[in-house]
Amino acid sequence: MRIAFVSTILGYPWGGADALWTRTASGALARGHDVLVAVSPVVAAHPRVAALPAAGARLQVRHGFTQQRGRRDRWGQALRRRLRSRRSLTAALDAFRPEYVLLCQGSAFDFLIEDGLTRWLQETGCPYGIICQSNDARDRLDPGAQAAARRFLGGAHRLIYVSTQNLRLAESQCGGSLAHATVVPNPVELPAEPRPLAWPAAAAPRLAVVARLEQDPKGLDVLLAALALVPAGDWQVRVFGRGPDEAVLRAQADALGLGPRLQFCGYEPDVLRIWREHHALLLPSRREGCALALLEAMACGRPVIATDVGGTGDWVEPGRSGYICPPGDAAALARLLQEALANFSDWPRLGAAAARTIALRHPPAPETLILDALPTPPAANPAGII
């Protein structure tokens, strides 16, 4: 089968949202499928993505969303397709003639601004599936967008959400049931080493934040405000990651006087090193899909202190494997942290339960759940040139 993987994640060089679709693309190649991968230049440069063409995939570098909203946009798209421009996604799809398109979205409704692509799918009749990586309870669709979303989602062969909450949010936001949707979690990608890891030797609580440094989606501004409300003690929080809001967050931490209680440690590629030295994960996000940091921490035997977004509720059981509070509320997060810190002696039990949860419930290769459900390709008339 000829399968096109089209990613709407254009601005980030790599993130948790890329892990599931790249593993699925690798699995498709291993099963003998022909694969086209359409990604932005920054995503194409990542070694994990660059390995796909090396394994036999075709690479299409896309430079923006495929849009046909105005007359000029439609004329431009038509011209680029006729000229087989390397910048035209639809021209590449015409040439590849896919029998299935898997749209890999950073957010639940990216397809609403990919109207050139959605029109191509509708006109060719090519079967398609959608992977939805994150959602936000604050997002709203107007009635026209709701109707468009229901039509496109309803026409998909399969809808894949990485968390139950994101699926339920999408149903509420588009105003309809998505009965053909399934939940497939992101993969746990850790080096081969016995897990759970040994409990850290440090006698005082050491908490880690593992996240891209963005204030709004990751809720890091809320976290810093919450930490300022927690009484000083021997606890310490270390932040691992890079991102566009690092300078702003450092300035906020200085203004709040967090001092030695908070450290920015930069990006740490060795996840196991983090969890050998830290007792718990802090995940204060406002929006999530199925956070890799959450799955990795739990697999290593660490409890999670998190907000109730994305996959948190699928994996963390309050009082058994971690602590949960509402997103975007610094006072609530501060109270939760104080409760957790007061019960530090119980964290090893919570961490052991977290590790059992991942070992018993997480599929070792979630991409196979997608590959095994691919439709049978038609005997003739695959999506053709239009």
Banded pLDDT at 127 (limits 50, 70, 90): very high
Q: Quote the CA–CA distance of 301 and 353 in Å, as a whole number.
A: 8
Percent of the chain with pLDDT over 70: 92
Residue 275 sits at the vertex; the CA angle it makes with 183 and 278, to the nearest 5 degrees, is 120
Q: Quote the CA–CA distance of 382 and 60 in Å, as a whole number.
A: 20
Strand order, beta sheet including 100-105: 58-61, 34-39, 2-7, 100-105, 128-132, 158-161, 181-183
**Beta bridge pairs of residue 39:** 61
pTM: 0.91
pLDDT, tens only, 64-108? 888 654 444 544 555 444 444 556 899 999 999 999 999 999 999
Q: Which domains does the chain have, with CATH numbers?
A: 2-187+365-371 (3.40.50.2000), 206-361 (3.40.50.2000)
**168 within 8 A of 177, measured Cβ to Cβ:** no
pLDDT, tens only, 11-53? 777 677 789 999 999 999 999 999 999 999 989 998 989 999 9
pLDDT reading at 152 higher than 50? yes
**Beta bridge pairs of residue 307:** 325
Q: Is the dihedral of CA 41, 45, 50, 53 positive or negative?
A: positive
Banded pLDDT at 314 (limits 50, 70, 90): very high
**44 within 8 A of 11, measured Cβ to Cβ:** no
Q: Measured in whole angstroms, how far is the alpha carbon of residue 157 from the centre of its chain?
A: 21
Q: Tell the residue number behind the tokens 């690479």, with chain if given.
A: 59
What is the Cα Rg of the chain in Å?
Answer: 22
pLDDT, tens only, 319-366? 999 999 999 999 999 999 999 999 999 999 999 999 999 999 999 999
Residue 81 is predicted with a pLDDT of 44
| 179, two tokens | 């009965």
